[in-house]
């Protein structure tokens, strides 16, 4: 582990063991961590590092679970404001009637229930950084007042007659297409202009080449340590293949949940983890939606993969099959590996689940060289 100082922030680059290719985990002040080795990911982190020193607004764009909050904290901790407040506000978590009061504060008696004066988030973040998450959900009225605060460095509490000077750097995040919203008149174009000095777009996990395995190993080891396992058994090859093939709509946050759930459910820590469940709601006793909702969800539900089970290739991939027998064998092997992992290598339970006799299952295991402890 190599330590270095960047500005006034102490950081360390650490190499996680037994993963293969080198990758970096940057442990910042508090608990922010960036783990990955793909070029797209490292480019985004590098851009954030360069923008941190500039006393200008920054927009962070990305799908849910890509780490927008970590980028905001990085922008703050590597700036000259690192020892001042970092104030966070989720714009989507409050009703529209309260957003302006939260942002700009209010005086006593300004509205029903305002029994005493209260400072807003801008005043709390004075000389520091204000992180506005889910920026695209702000009402047009709040956007107009935010525009004035950005432009003139002044905020006025609700019910007050005089503005208050504030020195705040704004970092905003969203998963919306703000230029498209501005073109449609649903977001103020002049506010977008003032907030987009730098725009950092975070890549989704599905395009971060090599990072799924790195992150799975990291979250798995950490969960194994929390469970006080003596050693880390790793993942079976078919589980790693399933992780690589999953689309990860929830990105790193979803991956963390899937990995930690798989590790804590695994009862044989001496063997590689051989089962992973992507959909925690998957169950034969899962409540069915009301009849009037089924028709609208039927098309989407048919495309969902649950329980980590292997799926048949899409029709468009059939043309790529050059050896039918090999393709069928590979699919059969994937189904067997998944079922064996799901049933903790209890072969009688696996045979019953697949509709096979015990001898038929044993034949399939020998045929596909699925030896216990290897896959």
Pairing mode, if any, of strands 9-14 and 24-27?
antiparallel
Let me know whether 147 and 186 are in one domain. yes
pLDDT tens, 190-225?
999 999 999 999 999 999 999 999 999 999 999 999
Residue 293 has what pLDDT?
A: 61
Residue 321 has what pLDDT?
A: 65
Let me know whether 241 and 134 are in one domain. no
Once rounded to an integer, what is the mean pLDDT over residues 337-365?
80
Q: Are 49 and 74 in contact (CB under 8 A)?
A: yes
Let me know whether 170 and 264 are in one domain. no
272 burial level (CB within 10 Å; 0-12, 13-18, 19+): buried
Least confident window among 117-121, 174-178, 368-372: 368-372
Per the domain annotation, does 221 fall within a domain?
Answer: yes
Count of domains forming the chain: 2
pLDDT tens, 282-322?
887 888 777 666 555 554 444 344 444 444 444 445 556 67
Let me know whether 150 and 100 are in one domain. yes
Structural domain boundaries enclosing 144: 55-108+116-203
Tokens of 375: 């896959």
23 burial level (CB within 10 Å; 0-12, 13-18, 19+): buried
pLDDT at 265 over 50: yes
Percentage of the residues of the chain whose pLDDT score is greater than 90: 55
Let me know whether 197 and 263 are in one domain. no
Per the domain annotation, does 49 fall within a domain?
Answer: no
Let me know whether 103 and 193 are in one domain. yes
HEC states along 318-357?
Answer: HHHCCCHHHHHHHHHHHHHHHHHHHCCCCHHHHHHHHCCC
Q: Looking at residue 187, which CATH number applies to its domain?
A: 3.40.50.300
Residue 7 has what pLDDT?
A: 36
Nearest-angstrom CA–CA distance, 155 and 101: 11
Let me know whether 190 and 264 are in one domain. no
Residue given tokens 């990911």 in the structure block: 41
Which whole-number Å values give the CA distances from 353 to 122, 348, 349, in the listed order? 59, 9, 6
* Last residue within a domain, chosen from 203, 234, 269: 203
Per the domain annotation, does 300 fall within a domain?
Answer: no
Per the domain annotation, does 372 fall within a domain?
Answer: no
Q: What is the CA radius of gyration of the chain?
A: 26
When pLDDT is cut at 50, 70 and 90, the band that residue 107 belongs to is confident
Least confident window among 158-162, 236-240, 298-302: 298-302
Per the domain annotation, does 230 fall within a domain?
Answer: yes
Q: What is the mean pLDDT of the chain?
A: 82
Which whole-number Å values give the CA distances from 184 to 91, 92, 141, 178, in the listed order? 20, 20, 17, 10
Let me know whether 199 and 282 are in one domain. no
Nearest-angstrom CA–CA distance, 228 and 263: 12
Per the domain annotation, does 233 fall within a domain?
Answer: yes
pLDDT at 24 over 50: no
Residues in the chain, overall count = 375
Helix segments in 227-314, DSSP class H: 237-245, 251-265, 291-301
Let me know whether 150 and 262 are in one domain. no
367, 278, 66, 88: CA torsion to nearest 10? -160
Let me know whether 234 and 281 are in one domain. yes
Residue 32 has what pLDDT?
A: 55
Nearest-angstrom CA–CA distance, 87 and 301: 40
Nearest-angstrom CA–CA distance, 278 and 307: 5
Q: Looking at residue 329, which CATH number applies to its domain?
A: 1.10.8.60
Residue 320 has what pLDDT?
A: 64
Let me know whether 351 and 257 are in one domain. yes
Strand, coil or helix: 201: strand
* Last residue within a domain, chosen from 203, 218, 238: 203
Nearest-angstrom CA–CA distance, 130 and 74: 13
Let me know whether 165 and 103 are in one domain. yes
Per the domain annotation, does 70 fall within a domain?
Answer: yes
Percentage of the residues of the chain whose pLDDT score is greater than 70: 82
* Last residue within a domain, chosen from 176, 203, 230: 203
Per the domain annotation, does 336 fall within a domain?
Answer: yes
Residue given tokens 């090859």 in the structure block: 237
- Backbone angles phi and psi of 245, in degrees to 5: -85, -15
């Amino acid at each position: 582990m190599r330590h270095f100082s960047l500005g006034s922030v102490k950081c360390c680059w650490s190499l996680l063991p037994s993963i293969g290719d080198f990758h970096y985990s940057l442990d910042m002040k508090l608990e922010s961590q960036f783990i990955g080795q793909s070029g797209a990911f490292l480019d985004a982190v590098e851009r954030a590092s360069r923008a941190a020193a500039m006393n200008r607004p920054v927009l962070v764009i990305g799908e849910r679970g890509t780490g927008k909050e970590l980028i905001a904290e990085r922008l703050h901790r590597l700036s000259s404001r690192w020892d001042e407040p970092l104030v966070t506000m989720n714009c989507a978590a409050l009703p529209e009637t309260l957003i302006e009061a939260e942002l700009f504060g209010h005086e006593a008696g300004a509205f029903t229930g305002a029994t005493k004066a209260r400072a807003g988030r801008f005043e709390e973040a004075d000389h520091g950084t204000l992180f506005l998450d889910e920026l695209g959900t702000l009402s047009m009225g709040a956007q107009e007042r935010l525009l004035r605060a950005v432009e003139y460095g002044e905020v006025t509490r609700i019910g007050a007659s005089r503005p208050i000077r504030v020195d705040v750097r704004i970092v905003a995040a969203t998963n919306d297409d703000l230029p498209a919203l501005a073109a449609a008149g649903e977001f103020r174009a002049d506010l977008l202009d003032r907030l987009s000095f730098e725009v950092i777009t975070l890549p989704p996990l599905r395009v971060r080449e090599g990072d799924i395995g790195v992150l799975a190993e990291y979250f798995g080891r950490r969960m194994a340590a929390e469970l006080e396992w003596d050693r880390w058994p790793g993942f079976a090859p078919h589980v790693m293949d399933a992780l690589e093939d999953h689309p990860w709509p929830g990105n790193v946050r979803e991956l963390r949940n899937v990995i930690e759930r798989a590790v804590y459910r695994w009862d044989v820590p001496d063997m590689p983890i051989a089962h992973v469940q992507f959909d925690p709601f998957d169950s034969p006793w899962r409540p069915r939606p009301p009849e009037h909702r089924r028709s609208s969800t039927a098309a989407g539900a048919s495309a969902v993969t649950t329980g980590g089970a292997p799926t048949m290739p899409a029709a468009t991939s059939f043309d790529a099959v050059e050896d039918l027998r090999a393709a069928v064998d590979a699919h059969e092997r994937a189904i067997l590996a998944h079922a064996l992992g799901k049933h903790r290598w209890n072969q009688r339970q696996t045979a019953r689940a697949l509709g096979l006799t015990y001898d038929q299952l044993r034949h399939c295991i020998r045929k596909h060289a699925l030896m216990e402890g290897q896959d």
